[in-house]
Amino acid sequence: MAFSLQLQQIFPSPIKFCSQPKSPNPQIFPNLTKRLSIHPLASAQNNATSNIDHNYIVTDKSSINEEEVSLPPELRRELMPKHIAVIMDGNRRWAKKRGLPVALGYAAGIRALRNFVKLSYNWGIRALTLFAFSSENWFRPEAEVDLLMGLFDKVLKDEVENLARAGIRLSIIGDSSKLPKSLQDLIDKAVMTTKANSRLHILVAINYSGQYDVVQACQTIAQKVKDGTIEPEDINSFLVEQELLTKCTEFPSPDLLIRTSGELRLSNFLLWQLAYTELFFSHSQWPDFGEAEFLEALSSFQQRQRRYGGQSS
């Protein structure tokens, strides 16, 4: 009940995303200053959402540099991972721990993501895969799903031009057919607008399942066998990899996976692609994952020997 009341403050008119996709209310983030109540938690939520309106993932060129900046002294450029996957866990727990609305946890998570992308961009990371919404997340409370769909809608509307100017390419992996039609249209526009960029490739996993990713790859290969374009003996791991949803990036297999909030599992994320990925589990909840925590993860990665099943040097 409390969560529903919080969402009514953000979304003055009820919207439905969970069952039959519908176009979200174009006023999904109106001028909240005039709409929210003066309750302290509502006021805090209002301020956080207002910040999201203007400070999303990418800002102007003063926050993301044209050239790579010098790395912190504890890092070596030749040992930097090219592709980092991230399970951004702990937004809800972060808010609940502070007695705040869950929506404020997601707002804080967006700010952490913005800083994470900026650091990755400046430090020369080539690809990021961000687990934003799993296929299992549809089972969360409907109001929370509505909130997340609204946030996806808002960031795409606000940030696609900034991404394009910064040289960032955006791709969405997952079954987008289950998303609201208006959100699907925004995704198509963002992908097309940024497809020629190469400075940093951001893959956002929305309605994604690692198990389904492998299944759909097998289905595609099976159809090719049925059509006679390949023989069964032609099937190998390389062929499977070419049919996974991460085939859109130059670096389909992450070098490093970061998961926050102390959870020690993969949660159905990139199950094939993570076969030889180095894993780093942080006790920090995602909104608290900043530069120091990122440095800790990268330093840990650079101290490891990646043997891929072979012997150590």
3-state SS string for the chain: CHHHHHHHHHCCCCCCCCCCCCCCCCCCCCCHHHCCCCCHHHHHHHHHHHHHHHCCCCCCCCCCCCCCCCCCCCCCHHHCCCEEEEECCCHHHHHHHCCCCHHHHHHHHHHHHHHHHHHHHHCCCCEEEEEEEEHHHHHCCHHHHHHHHHHHHHHHHHHHHHHHHHCEEEEEECCHHHCCHHHHHHHHHHHHHHCCCCCEEEEEEEEECHHHHHHHHHHHHHHHHHHCCCCHHHCCHHHHHHHCHHHHCCCCCCCEEEECCCCCCCCCCCCCCCCCCEEEECCCCHHHCCHHHHHHHHHHHHCCCCCCCCCCC
Q: What CA–CA distance (Å, rounded) separates 10 from 36?
A: 8
Instruction: Please check whether residue 224 lies inside any domain of the structure.
Output: no
If you average pLDDT over every residue of the chain, what do you get? 83
213-225 confidence digits (pLDDT tens): 999 999 999 999 9
Please give the pLDDT value at position 68: 58
- Average pLDDT for 62-79: 77
Instruction: Please check whether residue 222 lies inside any domain of the structure.
Output: no
Query: The tokens 């299944």 sit on which residue?
Result: 215
Active site residues: 89
Residue type, 89: D
Instruction: Please check whether residue 130 lies inside any domain of the structure.
Output: yes
Please give the pLDDT value at position 42: 40
Tell me the pLDDT band of 313, cut-offs 50, 70 and 90: low
10 within 8 A of 147, measured Cβ to Cβ: yes
Q: What CA–CA distance (Å, rounded) separates 297 from 260?
A: 11
Domain that residue 180 falls in: 81-210+253-301
Question: At a CB cut-off of 8 Å and minimum separation 6, what does 110 contact?
Answer: 52, 56, 57, 151, 155
| pLDDT higher than threshold 80 for residue 249 | yes
**How far from each other are the two terminal CA atoms of the chain, in whole angstroms?**
58
Question: HSE-up of 123 (CA within 13 Å, CB side)?
Answer: 27
Tell me the pLDDT band of 267, cut-offs 50, 70 and 90: very high
Q: At 159, which CATH number? A: 3.40.1180.10
Q: What CA–CA distance (Å, rounded) separates 17 from 284?
A: 31
| pLDDT higher than threshold 50 for residue 190 | yes
Instruction: Please check whether residue 29 lies inside any domain of the structure.
Output: no
| pLDDT higher than threshold 50 for residue 296 | yes
Which percentage of the chain shows pLDDT scores above 90? 74
81-99 confidence digits (pLDDT tens): 999 999 999 999 999 999 9
Task: Look at the chain and report how many structural domains it folds into.
Answer: 1
Tell me the pLDDT band of 67, cut-offs 50, 70 and 90: low
Please give the pLDDT value at position 133: 97
97-143 confidence digits (pLDDT tens): 999 999 999 999 999 999 999 999 999 999 999 999 999 999 999 99
Instruction: Please check whether residue 186 lies inside any domain of the structure.
Output: yes
Instruction: Please check whether residue 169 lies inside any domain of the structure.
Output: yes
Please give the pLDDT value at position 199: 96
Chain length of the chain:
313
* Residue bearing the bigger pLDDT, 20 or 237: 237
Count the neighbouring beta carbons within 10 Å of the beta carbon of residue 11.
20
Q: What CA–CA distance (Å, rounded) separates 235 from 233?
A: 5
Instruction: Please check whether residue 233 lies inside any domain of the structure.
Output: no
Tell me the pLDDT band of 40, cut-offs 50, 70 and 90: very low
148-162 confidence digits (pLDDT tens): 999 999 989 988 999
Instruction: Please check whether residue 16 lies inside any domain of the structure.
Output: no
Backbone angles phi, psi at 140, to 5 degrees: -75, 170
